[in-house]
Amino acid sequence: MKATALSALGRRTTPPPISWLMALVLARPKLVSLAAGFTDDATLPVTETRRLLGRLLARRTTGQPALQYGSTPGFPALRRLTAARLCAQDAATGEGRVSEPAYDPEALVITHGSQQLLYLVCEVLCDPGDVVLVEDPTYFVFLGILQSHGVEARDVALTPDGADPDRLDAVLSRLRREGRLPRVKLFYLVGYHQNPTGTTTTLARKAALLDVLRHYERPAGHPIYLLEDAAYRELRFAGPDTASALAVPGGAGRVIYAGTYSKPFATGVRVGFGVLPEPLRRAVLCAKGNHDFGTSSLGQHLLAAALESGVYDRHVARLRTRYAAKAGWMTAALRRHFPAHVSWTEPRGGLYVWARLPRGVRTGPRSALFRRALAADVLYVPGRLCYAPDPTRRAPDHEMRLSFGHASERAIRTGVARLGQVLAEVCG
């Protein structure tokens, strides 16, 4: 029998690249992976978590709610602490306008990692055939969500300050000419230490992008949202913080802010959050009600306790020092082992270095470079995975994402040295 019982979504969804990258790592125990977006094992807060959980479970009054179902929007104390922290972070930058209701705990939904929020937002906003604008390149797992929903991604070129508003304007103008503006629902940007390039978007740039989106709303016939993914905001180890798009005057009604406690605390706890304008918040809550009717209580109570006790702040301070050192080890190794014609930007936060090879040197999964790297037991993320499948151009294929998040100091040095050797062989 040939017929399948799968839904259109089930048939359409292709395996995410993360699956085969992970499979490669599992199949080769000696492989040095500079590919995974995992965080640093040594700094995971094992002792702090044991103490916090011990306190939480020491009394029935605090233990029982932590082990019980919660509500769909999330644990009220965590929502309050999260909203207050976000508001204080934006206020501390001295940029923009930090005012209610953008930082109201009522606008905040706790999710199973920020990944769930990204999924839910796409689910409640997009139908097959719709268009979502993305940075070029972007977070490749997000591209998977779009693919699965039958949504077309259109890319907007990045500059050192963030996505280029003139390019955004040109893309939207073209969509208008094609009569597809009503299908445009949102622009997704990774605002801080972007995955994969490390770019941080300035507040002025966020304001300019929001202006362009607003300009096209009337012909689109509906709001066009800016989805700001701040997954790496807390992992800043150089330079000042930048206010979120929530602080752009007049931007609050159009900004969706996705945050997470995964990277800055523990990826295994997987607690994220979203700040959403109405009527999106209500729609996301209804969809989340169907998904899981609430994020795991234990993780939420743990994070609330970490935030309230100061454990979280102390942990983030330690992480920043650690990742600054790891980024330094990686860039020092790159300077030492990579050919002079490979360029990269010194990271100021996050987990990645984005290396640009000469255009003729291919890095894709089928390239000689990738195969030789695997044979040398080192893995990177081929840059082309991070480019939207835009029918109007060929995705660049000469870049690689290298992560210093999970690898040890030794693995970083060994991995980069092996890659340097392979590059020397392939580039001649």
Ligand X SMILES: Cc1ncc(COP(=O)(O)O)c(C=O)c1O
Smallest separation, CB 292 to ligand X (Å): 14
- Quick one: 303 or 342, whose CB is closer to ligand X? 303
CB of 268 to ligand X, least distance (A): 9
Asked whether 406 and 41 are in contact (CB, 8 A), the reply is: yes
Contact (Cβ atoms closer than 8 angstroms) between residue 314 and residue 399: no
How many Cβ atoms are within 10 Å of 328's Cβ, its own excluded? 15
Q: Which helix (H) or strand (E) holds 158?
A: strand 152-159
Name which of residues 23 to 62 contact ligand X (CB under 6 A).
37
CB of 123 vs ligand X, minimal distance in Å:
15
Distance in Å, CB of 146 to ligand X, minimum? 14
Distance CA 272, CA 66 (A): 17
Q: How far apart are CA 129 and CA 135, in angstroms?
A: 19
Shortest gap between Cβ of 195 and ligand X (angstroms)? 4
When asked if residue 262 is in the footprint of ligand X (CB under 6 A), the reply is yes
Alpha carbon of residue 213 to chain centroid? 21
Contacts to ligand X from residues 62-121, by CB under 6 A: 113-115
CA atoms within 13 A on the CB side of 274: 31
Q: Which of 56, 231, 407, 419 is in the footprint of ligand X by CB under 6 A?
A: 231
Helical ranges in 60-187 per DSSP H = 60-66, 76-92, 113-125, 140-148, 165-177
Size of the site for ligand X (CB under 6 A): 14
Counting contacts by CB under 6 A, is residue 201 touching ligand X? no
* 229 counts as binding ligand X under rule CB under 6 A: yes
Q: Taking CB under 6 A as the rule, does residue 191 contact ligand X?
A: no
Q: Which is nearer to ligand X, 72 or 114 (CB)?
A: 114
Cis peptide before 279 (omega within 30 of 0): yes
The residue at minimum Cβ distance from ligand X is: 113
Token pair belonging to 265: 């605390």
Query: Which region, left, alpha or beta, applies to residue 6 given φ > 0 means left and ψ of -120 to 50 means alpha?
Result: beta
Stretch that binds ligand X, among 56-64, 89-97, 265-273, 300-308 (CB under 6 A): 265-273
Q: Which of residues 116-175 bind ligand X (CB under 6 A)?
A: 139
DSSP 16: P
Smallest distance from ligand X to CB 388, Å: 15
Binding site for ligand X (CB under 6 A): 37, 113-115, 139, 190, 195, 229, 231, 260, 262, 267, 270, 272
